[in-house]
Structure 1
Amino acid sequence: MDFTNPLVYGVPCFLGLILLELTYSKTHDDHKNLYDWKDLSASLTMGVGSALLAPLIKTISAIVIFNYVYEIFNPEINGVRTNIMGWESFGYAWYVWLICQVLDDFTYYWFHRQNHMVRALWAAHIVHHSSDNFNLGTAVRNGWFTILYKPLFYMWLPALGFPPAMVVVCLGIEALWQFQLHSVYIPKMGIIEKVFNTHTMHQVHHAKNVEYMDKNHGGFLNIFDKIFGTWKELDENIKVEYGVTHAPNSYNPWVILTHEYKDIWNDTKRSKNWYHKFMYIFGPPGWSHDGSTQTVKQMQKALKEGKTV
């Protein structure tokens, strides 16, 4: 069964909503500085680049990788798709869709969290966090290299027996939800916040305030953040500062895309010890062999102890 990726319809909506939010912000005094023209231009450039690259790479990943995994783990036996573990591969019943979407969200949580925990992955993901602004334009400020490894996190779903087309659609639904979270105009939403990842929670995720860093990695649910200890509610008494602690300080898209890779390369040359080199690449961002820089956990521990960060 063939389905159209929801993002095909989402992209025109993205552009329309960005224009709407931009117009509204410029005509209302409370958020006149919500958008910076150069910053928006850089975000849109990277968004367009991602949109051009994604069909090619995602087509390869969805058609080749997901289908290959699905075929290997779910061969036809007497005309029936059967998982190698013994159960019949899943169809398109409504409850299968629901289960797949929840498992997609679980996978997104760990994919997203590892993007913050492993510096080589952070180098690709930092692009999305590099803006000092938080708006719908920032939502399309996506790195071009995350597409290369993201499908690897989701291969287990077709391996279990979920049809590849279903997995792709669930990925698209996740992306649609993520886009609309990038707005400061939506306040806390009461009981909805008990279950779903909301706009104020995502403001926390994009903040560079030490107490907010590496929090709220969820997609459309917040349960996995709560289970695994990474959930943080927005404190309206704390002024949110958006961006990253080591910003590219440039509106040049190529600099924004590659600056962290350059920093990793320079850091690996700081020590001849091969373990140190490995940690500069695959350790948490901020790790250093001489304590000259700190990880988020180290900064948060220092903040808790009342030390200067």
Structure 2
Amino acid sequence: MQIIAWSIPGFILFIGLELLLARRRGRNVYHLPVALSDISCGITQQLFNIISFGLGLAVYAWVYQFRVVEPSTAGVWLIGMIGVDFFYYWWHRASHEVNILWASHIVHHHSEDYNLAVALRQALFTNLSMVPFLLPLALLGVPPLVYAACKGINSLYQFWLHTELIGKLGAFERVFNTPSLHRVHHAVNPQYLDRNYGGIFILWDRLFGSHALEREPPIYGTTKPLRSLNPLWANFHYYFTIAGLAASTSRWRDRLHAIVAHPGWRPGQPSVTTTRDEPRYEVPTSPGLTRYILVQAALAIPATMLLVLHGLSLSPALRLAGVGLVAAGAIAWAGLLERHRWGWPLELLRLAGSLALLRVLFAGP
């Protein structure tokens, strides 16, 4: 988690550079409301990790007690780096094939743009859902800190994959994942669905039959668009879809199957691949509101970084207050952009709470 937190300034820098380069090339790869939604999902995930990351690491450390091998120092890192990517592949594949896992992972695929901001669009429950898939590394003798470092490096590598400005990379793509291959993964074109799950290595996809090359322009997003900028709704809406799917059938067998079925499954019907035919979700913005939200986002990003790095040094009450207020801001952006009546009340409440929290934090003895 610390590796990702220290990388936040670099993420923002490269997003800015991508935006400038795209404009020089006459490309429109960013839509501000969508990019803000992507970043707000990243902020809320990092804030949730402050609370939940220790749980996953604690489970891993407990299983590590029962390790069956003791690799050398070099062996630990080799097993860690290759193993994290191998088990990541199977978690990623399962997250596209099992409804309850797709309910979390779908957040990363909502964006109808494809740019570096999309790399930050992560789900609240991603890390927790990944833990069971990575536990074999504990049994193989990879220590918890090495595991956490390898997992962080794996995530960092995937950041640069989320861009349209880098073309195909020739022979490099036979072994490693690249932007071209990952564009396929984010596309809803029928021939691209459920392809290219690898993190660093694309070899797993070649070995296990899920590999596809980029041959026609990808159409990004999900087959059923979210049509919302709200990070909270993005993280929970598909659980309601599963509940509705289970409620639509009278057989308990089908109700239970709805939880683990492929996202294309419908009771009593064959699984189908649908093609999205809805126009992209557009939100008109005013210059004044845009400037205001950009300022708030510019403040929220370093606040998130500081909470991730130093939040554990705060009392539980102050830590929870900080997490809640920054998360409320990310949700309020969506309310303001989408002109919801609750947008400004939530934002004003957040501002008042933030001023009160700063007063407590910086009050003299």
Per-residue Cα deviation, 1:128-159 (whole angstroms, up to 9, x for no partner): 00111111011111111222221111111012
Aligned to 2:19: 22
2: distance between equivalents of 1:295 and 1:11?
39
**2:55 pairs with 48, 52, 60, which one?**
60
Aligned to 2:64: 70
Deviation at 1:290, TM superposition (A): 3.2
- Greater per-residue helix proportion: 2
Pairing 1:90–2:71 present: yes
Aligned positions of 1:78-227 closer than 5 A: 83=68, 87=69, 89-93=70-74, 95-227=75-207
Indicate the RMSD between aligned Cα atoms, in angstroms. Answer: 1.8
2: distance between equivalents of 1:8 and 1:255?
24
Deviation at 1:106, TM superposition (A): 0.5
Pairing 1:287–2:287 present: no
Aligned to 1:277: 255
1: distance between equivalents of 2:256 and 2:207?
30
2: distance between equivalents of 1:8 and 1:49?
13
8 Å Cα contact 2:96/2:263 also seen in 1? yes
Aligned positions of 1:27-38 closer than 5 A: 27-29=24-26, 31-32=27-28, 34-38=29-33
8 Å Cα contact 2:56/2:127 also seen in 1? no
8 Å Cα contact 2:116/2:163 also seen in 1? yes
8 Å Cα contact 1:49/1:144 also seen in 2? yes
Q: Percent identity, please.
A: 33
Aligned to 2:336: none
- Partner amino acid, structure 2, of 1:242: Y
Aligned to 2:353: none
Change beyond 3 A, Cα 1:272–1:140:
same
Aligned to 2:240: 262
**SS of equivalent to 1:182:** coil
8 Å Cα contact 1:120/1:282 also seen in 2? yes
8 Å Cα contact 2:44/2:231 also seen in 1? no
- Partner amino acid, structure 1, of 2:246: T
Which segments of structure 1 move beyond 4 Å, counting only runs of 4 or more?
Answer: none
**SS of equivalent to 1:221:** coil
Aligned to 1:304: none
Deviation at 1:5, TM superposition (A): 4.4
TM-score, structure 2 length as denominator?
0.72
Per-residue Cα deviation, 1:234-282 (whole angstroms, up to 9, x for no partner): 10xx221001101111112222222211111111111110121122211
State which drifts further: 216-225 or 51-60.
51-60
Structure 2 gaps of 5+ residues are 276-365
Aligned to 2:4: 7
**SS of equivalent to 2:165:** coil
- Partner amino acid, structure 2, of 1:178: Q
Aligned to 2:300: none
**1:228 pairs with 200, 203, 208, which one?**
208
2: distance between equivalents of 1:134 and 1:260?
22
2: distance between equivalents of 1:9 and 1:218?
24
2: distance between equivalents of 1:186 and 1:272?
50
- Partner amino acid, structure 2, of 1:153: F
